[in-house]
Chain A
Amino acid sequence: MAKPIPKIGSRKNARSGSRKHLRKIPKGIIHVQASFNNTIVTVTDVRGRVISWSSAGTCGFKGTRRGTPFAAQTAAGNAIRTVADQGMQRAEVMIKGPGLGRDAALRAIRRSGILLNFIRDVTPMPHNGCRSPKKRRV
């Protein structure tokens, strides 16, 4: 991967330190991993460094309620609230996995006022690689 050009700015080093991210990021990427039992929303910058994350489980839902769309919506709201203060206006959304969280989190992001540039689906697709688990019998 080519290294991106470091931004012109006084206090930004290219090293990813352990200090808090105080910089303003107008554009970021929101990753939504929506499985059937849970939804995880991660907000990163364009290079992929995580700014904040939230999931249905951390929002206080437990068990089967984590998979519901309402939980996904609260998780997305939580994740964005931290970031909206830092001034993010545009975002790109990457969605992974099946699950109800896809739709609900997208709608929550839309509602929060952040402009959506692109919506991408990045569900991992093997080019016929590993053997998948056996079929559930019903």
Chain B
Amino acid sequence: MTTHLLHLPLIPPPSPSPWRRHHHTSAATTTITPPRTGWVQLQSQLGKAVIGSTRRSIRCMANPRRVKMVAKQIQRELSDMLLTDKVLQFAVLPEASLGADRYLSSLTTITDVQVSADLQVVKVYVSVFGDERGKEVAIAGLKSNAKYVRSELGKRIKLRLTPEVRFMEDESFERGSRVIAILDKIKNEKGSEGQTKEQLDSSAQEDDDDSWGGEDPDEGIIYVE
């Protein structure tokens, strides 16, 4: 169990993309370095030179499988909280909280949860769908309610120590979407003639109340964020 700490990256890896999720190795990818004294003590155990003081003992490092289970459970609970908890919803979406029958202007999703190996720190990656202002409002609202989230999490999950919750913005969804949009645009530009002819032929033959005749011929309109 102690060997996996050697593989700790000293530089935090870039923000994870759930696209690559199933390629994660099973070793705990902590992005938080453990307390310095613990790290040093580990090195001393392995026969290297002792650098600093050894007054603090190592906290319990959990089984990597358990770390993953806790991460999954935290993700479930946090997503559920985003859906049901009034305080969080108001923090994320200040406007349409009570009135408007859940017509949303932005949608917040928790895409990834990373737990440190000692289950003390939790990094929550949040992706917001919507415009710039909605994104800022959502992330700011979540960050300002981090303590409340931590206390709610403690009530829902029975852990010895409730981890500290940190919210970060996950941009991988947007980046991926942008890239795919550009790729689609290139693909459409290459083979666009045959496609649009086909769709224009199937325009409405019946009388409809609508004024639009058929499919928009310019398929290149991509709403790129």
B39 in contact (CB, < 8 A): no
Q: How far is the CB of B225 from chain A (nearest CB, A)?
A: 8
Provide the residues of chain A in CB contact with B202, threshold 8 Å.
85-87
CB pair B219 A113 closer than 8 Å? yes
Provide the residues of chain B in CB contact with A123, threshold 8 Å.
83
Chain B interface bracket (under 10, 10 to 19, 20 to 34, 35 or more):
35 or more
Q: Is the interface of B mostly helix, strand, loop or mixed?
A: mixed
Q: How far is the CB of B110 from chain A (nearest CB, A)?
A: 8
CB pair B177 A107 closer than 8 Å? yes
Chain A interface bracket (under 10, 10 to 19, 20 to 34, 35 or more):
35 or more
Instruction: Render A94-136 as a binary contact track against B, CB cut-off 8 A, 1 for contact.
Output: 0100111011101110110100001111110100000000011
CB pair A87 B104 closer than 8 Å? no
A-B pairs under 8 A by CB, number = 113
Q: How far is the CA of A64 from the CA of B72 in the complex (A)?
A: 13
B73 in contact (CB, < 8 A): yes
Q: How far is the CB of B189 from chain A (nearest CB, A)?
A: 14
Q: How far is the CA of A120 from the CA of B109 in the complex (A)?
A: 14
5 contacts between A and B (CB under 8 A): A9-B207, A26-B210, A86-B202, A102-B107, A135-B156
B interface vs A, CB < 8 Å?
18-19, 21-22, 66, 69-70, 73, 76, 79-80, 82-84, 101-105, 107, 109-111, 127, 129, 156-159, 173-174, 177, 180-181, 184, 199, 202-204, 206-210, 212, 214-216, 219, 221-223
